[in-house]
Structure 1
Amino acid sequence: MTSESQFALLGKKRFLPFFLTQSLGAFNDNIYKQTVILAILFKLTLADSFLGISLDKDLLVNLCALLFILPFFLFSALAGQFGEKFAKDGLIRMVKLGEIGIMLLGALAVWFESLALMLVVLFGMGTQSALFGPVKYSILPQHLKESELVGGNALVEMGTFLAILAGTIGAGIMLSSSHYASLVASAVVLIALLGYCASLGIPRAEPSLPQLQLDWNIFRQTWRIMHLGLGQRPAVSRSLIGNSWFWFIGAIYLAQIPNFAKDWLYGDESVVTLILTVFSVGIASGSMLCERLSGHKVEIGLVPFGSIGLSLFGILIWWHSGGFPAPIGSELQGWMAVLSHAQGWLIMADILGLGLFGGFYIVPLYALIQSRTLENERARVIAANNILNALFMVVSALVAILFLSVAGLSIPELFLAVSLMNIAVNAYIFHIVPEFSMRFLIWMLGHSMYRVEHRGLEAIPDEGPVVLVCNHVSFVDALLIGGAIRRPVRFVMYYKIYQLPVLNFIFRTAGTVPIAARGEDLATYEQAFVRIRQYLENGEVVCIFPEGKLTADGELNEFKNGVELILKDSPVPVIPMALQGLWGSFFSRDQGKRLFRRIWSRVTLVAGEPVSPELATRQMLQERVLELRGERR
């Protein structure tokens, strides 16, 4: 398990060209989209009507958003098929070539101030983004190790949101010039060329399903791909819903920021820019912290953590928004004037927290979708995700209209309503997939009461059956081990520990095997060995505590013969492990323990070299575990 920072990926050819390609694409999209919106609002002289339709500026701005998002409904299914059938690096280069052509047309549209052509270009930009989306996320697992997947996704999210921010601000700066047309035209073509040049460095990514027959009926294939995505195992299908829900929330906040800044903070355009900057920095920071907090593995326990923060800071924005000091006179105030009030700082802290926890929420969901989807279905599942995202964003606009115009809510009250809706939606997701809540409890334990260090865990193979044997020091040994290992671990534990309140929820969700002594409960004893054999036949990781009970004095008890019985039926490699530093903690049986004496104490999990099944006797394994534990109980 590498401890290398995710930023090291920016120095690797298998990631950097892709990162630059997608960041430049997001940057260019937002420069052009914001240019068109600002041109409609401030630069273009519009006729009263077009084809008999009144050219209201608000209508045109909403039309821009619709034209950009419509291709995600129309072409994501086709893009998902392309991503399976063809080499992904070649597809990316074709998409980037298309971007050059689209931006050349876009440059002409801006130069001649042709609104009709600008709208055509917006649709073209949405189309190339829709074609790029499934490839963008399905290529990462082909080029990154599993331990790099969270870090890679974090960098992609950081790059995307910072590119969106930079494009939005950059368009505003260029539109303030009297020569905006030449500046924008040159910029979008140059960035498209740079994006194509960056794509030339992306390494080969073989097609995952080259024999796939393309279905050009976009409506039929959209239905099939949606069925494929939502028909995945619950952890994946509900992650798609959670991912799209994030974009529902984000679309509502981003759409309301200009009016929120104007009507509630009495701010001008600089305040809108400040809020967007703070929000984007929050998302980028949360994405970056994900990799450190998850320990270089896909840690879905961060998703409930992120969800809690999204609701908490949304409620705080509502709480802090009322009664903001109005400026003297009728002029709107700049960002420095807003920050001259303590209330302004509180609101910005809330927006930063919203973005930060949004990063905690979205990055693990993307990583889970990528890691738990079959390679020959991944691009189509991500295409289904893109369709869902677009659908949720459209619904978010309708919900905002309903709440603001029909129900008569204020913008802060809309934020409150969305925060409460977030609690309900994620409660549903976590109820259907209790693994999220289980991993959250494990993650909280490993980041609150204990500081868990890992040594030698690279000995645990990334795939294939293996048995782990470890000393048994406390009631939470299984939680600390499960939180440290990248793969799901099936624990075998004494049935009375398995039945402990709260912990039982975690153990059941994790597929733990309760076991009793033969003379204590024969049926439980025999069923345990049947389940262990099934897990190992399925290529999973099984962890046992061969002592059969918690230590009463901190020393190892004699190993029982259960491990030998397991290996007799299932001859698989065995990895000895040891927990150091847990004796004397609150969850151990040390008579002198005190609750706060060992809070935030340092615990170490050490793994040794694999032992072949024919050599793995209980005596030998006990010696190995004792050696790994050392003097630190």
Structure 2
Amino acid sequence: MAHNQFELLKQRRFLPFFLVQSLGAFNDNVYRQAIIGLLFWLGVTPEQRTLYTNLAPALFILPYFLFSAHAGQIAEKLEKSKLIRITTTMEIAIMTLAAVGFLTQNMAVLLVALFCTGVQSTLFGPVKYSILPSVLKPEELTGGNGLVEMGTSISILCGMIFGGLIFQLAGSHGPVAAATAVIALAVLGNTVSRAIPRAEAGAPDLKINWNPLPESLAIWRLTRKQLAVRNSILGVSWFWFVGTVLTAQLPTYAETNLGGLQPLYIFALALFSIGTGAGSLVCEKLSARTVEIGLVPLGAFGISAFMVDLYFARSGLAPASGLTIPQFVQQAGSWRIMLDLTGIGFFAGMFVVPLFALIQSRTPKDELSRVIAGMNIQNALFIVLAAVLGIVVQRFFGWTIPQVFLALAIANALVAIYIFSIVPEFAMRFLSWVLVRSMYRLKLHGIEKNVPDEGPALIVCNHVSYMDALILSASIPRPVRFVMYYKIFNIPVMRFIFRNAKAIPIAGAKEDPALMEKAFEEIDAALAEGEIVGIFPEGRLTTDGEIAAFKSGVERVLAKRPVPVVPMALRGMWSSMWSHRDNRMGRMRVPRRFRAHVEVAADAPVDGREATAEMLEAKVRALRGDAA
């Protein structure tokens, strides 16, 4: 297992795939920019170049509507490394056709090849993301997705730069250089793809429905089966909407608002791309190697904050024109603009990576490729909508580009609030992530491996402090319905979090027998719905740091519904601020107790038909060891 995401780059199960997808993104953008370079080289009129720049994105995106339903089924049915080799072989054939277009300077041939690259990308898209859960361990998903998003962002940027320079550097040999480059990159990608290890098909017995309309509806329904997955897909599509609006305006923004030409546009795009790559990479560190959707609200509001600041940094026209990159950097206020562009990209990466990881972790393996295909259809719709709205608000409403950015920032915040309001899990994970990561230095062991990705389960853990439920909820990727003593449930401020997290308050039989019975009914109903329920079987906080005997309530739950039981242990909590180790004043010694080192460990699930309170207590004791 890789201890950090960069170690994945040394391993055959990940590196060849990473290189293939990066080379594919690089070659696509080399090709598209080389076509623009050819148009300049041929000296065509601005009207003809404008026709291409409007027609090319439509030709590339059209296959996503036409063939995504087929692509999802094919990616589900075929062994994944074989499908990747097929798509990279297609790329060689397509780029050979493109080479003919460059050599003959035939724009019709180049546009046909561009449409074919869209077809190839449509087929590759579902396998690109569905292969990751097959080759990565659950705790590596966030880091792996971060690397893929970083590689894609940097490859797109480098491809645009390289493709744009081909005709400038090669001069009269430009068509030959472009033809050679796209074929060589395609061959290289296909060669590397042969090193990708075998990754089994998700549903090898799937019968392919070649009728696109009913199948598109079928995969659309698959994307909506789980509320969290459905809204994660909505979040990914919104990411593409925001990215499309922003990057579509950058060429004109660089000229009219920043005072430069194409080099300054590439520089602005580079800042955004580098920021996206950095934000994608930092997700693993911030999430402590779990699928941490608590980062999503932080990413969303970070995007809006930097986009609002970008509006105020330069809301009018540039004070000078014809600036080179060094000249722009020396202008007053330029560093603020550069920071804003980088910050937007950084938080965009932080926003989208956990969403991809959640989709992959929560979707059944035999449906994942089709769900990704359905997401690609929705992404394409949002990209087209973004392009149309960008044109409409500027041409018909007279908005300036900074005004477009401001409106986008407001819309982004409203969409984020909407998503988080209909899926409280996102907001609750964010609150628990902020509280726990600011108060503790958390280390996790075996969480992703042993907590089931789907279906009901019971979590049992030792009980040390008032913060235990919050720490566990920040450590476990899935939502957990915690059973907690009603007096802890009613603590001011924390009550809001516990209530929205659907915690189940419980009392002793002598204190409130009705509340106790109601709690057991809620526990059973939650397990029947396939949820995870968390119990502290000691029944009270430890007063001496030791684990007390587990009470029989856990056996009562399992007698009625024998679901898998995951033993978990908190280590280091006894010396933290909110335990009962000291008196009340001693617990508040912030300098000594703040940011305590705490570990959460999970063991393999126990069959609920065999589990007893005594057995589970022994397992939790062994997990905790001496690290009270």
Alpha-carbon contact 2:572-2:599 (below 8 Å) kept: yes
Counterpart selection for 1:237 from 209, 226, 230: 230
Alpha-carbon contact 2:573-2:579 (below 8 Å) kept: no
Per-residue deviation, 1:185? 0.8
Q: CA-to-partner distance for each residue in 1:142-183, whole Å, 9 max, x for gaps?
A: 111111111111111111111100100001221213122111
Q: Which range moved further: 610-619 or 583-592?
A: 610-619
Counterpart selection for 1:410 from 395, 400, 414: 400
Over 3 Å counting, the alpha-carbon distance change for 1:477 and 1:394 in structure 2 is same
Over 3 Å counting, the alpha-carbon distance change for 1:343 and 1:559 in structure 2 is same
Per-residue deviation, 1:211? 2.9
Q: CA-to-partner distance for each residue in 1:605-625, whole Å, 9 max, x for gaps?
A: 354867978785569939965
SS in 1 for 2:330: coil
Per-residue deviation, 1:281? 0.8
Q: Does 1:215 align with 2:209?
A: yes
Alpha-carbon contact 1:451-1:600 (below 8 Å) kept: no
Query: If the length of structure 2 is used for normalisation, what is the TM-score?
Result: 0.91
Alpha-carbon contact 2:603-2:623 (below 8 Å) kept: no
AA partner of residue 236 (structure 2): N
Distance 2:175 2:626 in 1: 71
Counterpart for residue 448 of structure 1: 438
Q: Does 1:100 align with 2:98?
A: no
Q: Does 1:621 align with 2:617?
A: yes
Q: Does 1:400 align with 2:390?
A: yes
Counterpart for residue 321 of structure 1: 314
Over 3 Å counting, the alpha-carbon distance change for 1:523 and 1:389 in structure 2 is same
Counterpart selection for 2:278 from 260, 277, 285: 285
Q: Could you list the runs of 5+ residues in structure 1 that have no partner in the other structure?
A: 49-54
Per-residue deviation, 1:22? 0.9
Per-residue deviation, 1:380? 1.1
Alpha-carbon contact 1:467-1:541 (below 8 Å) kept: yes
Alpha-carbon contact 1:574-1:616 (below 8 Å) kept: no
Per-residue deviation, 1:210? 2.8
Q: Which range moved further: 111-120 or 204-213?
A: 204-213
Alignment of 1:451-470 (within 5 A): 451-454=441-444, 460=450, 462=452, 465-470=457-462
Counterpart for residue 517 of structure 1: 508
Per-residue deviation, 1:429? 0.8
Q: CA-to-partner distance for each residue in 1:462-519, whole Å, 9 max, x for gaps?
A: 5684542212322x21011221234543321012322445534433454432211112
Q: Does 1:427 align with 2:417?
A: yes
Give the number of the structure whose residues are more often helix, by fraction: 2
Counterpart selection for 1:169 from 161, 175, 178: 161
AA partner of residue 345 (structure 1): W
AA partner of residue 539 (structure 2): G
Distance 2:377 2:623 in 1: 54
Per-residue deviation, 1:315? 0.5
Per-residue deviation, 1:541? 4.9
Q: Which range moved further: 110-119 or 457-466?
A: 457-466
Q: Which range moved further: 607-616 or 71-80?
A: 607-616
Query: If the length of structure 1 is used for normalisation, what is the TM-score?
Result: 0.90
Distance 2:616 2:267 in 1: 64
Distance 1:143 1:531 in 2: 38
AA partner of residue 244 (structure 2): A
Counterpart selection for 1:496 from 487, 491, 500: 487
Q: Which range moved further: 347-356 or 622-631?
A: 622-631
Per-residue deviation, 1:450? 2.1
Counterpart for residue 43 of structure 1: 41
Alpha-carbon contact 1:73-1:390 (below 8 Å) kept: yes
Q: Does 1:11 align with 2:10?
A: yes
Counterpart for residue 302 of structure 2: 309
Per-residue deviation, 1:207? 2.3
State percent identity of aligned pairs: 43
Query: How many residues are aligned here?
Result: 619
Over 3 Å counting, the alpha-carbon distance change for 1:458 and 1:224 in structure 2 is closer
Per-residue deviation, 1:5? 0.9
SS in 2 for 1:158: helix
Q: CA-to-partner distance for each residue in 1:106-125, whole Å, 9 max, x for gaps?
A: 01111221111111111111
Per-residue deviation, 1:39? 2.6
Per-residue deviation, 1:531? 3.9
SS in 1 for 2:26: helix
Q: Which range moved further: 487-496 or 393-402?
A: 487-496
Alpha-carbon contact 2:236-2:379 (below 8 Å) kept: yes
Superposition CA RMSD, Å: 3.0
Q: CA-to-partner distance for each residue in 1:409-458, whole Å, 9 max, x for gaps?
A: 11111001001000111111111111000111111112212222345768
Over 3 Å counting, the alpha-carbon distance change for 1:517 and 1:3 in structure 2 is farther
Q: Could you list the runs of 5+ residues in structure 2 that have no partner in the other structure?
A: none
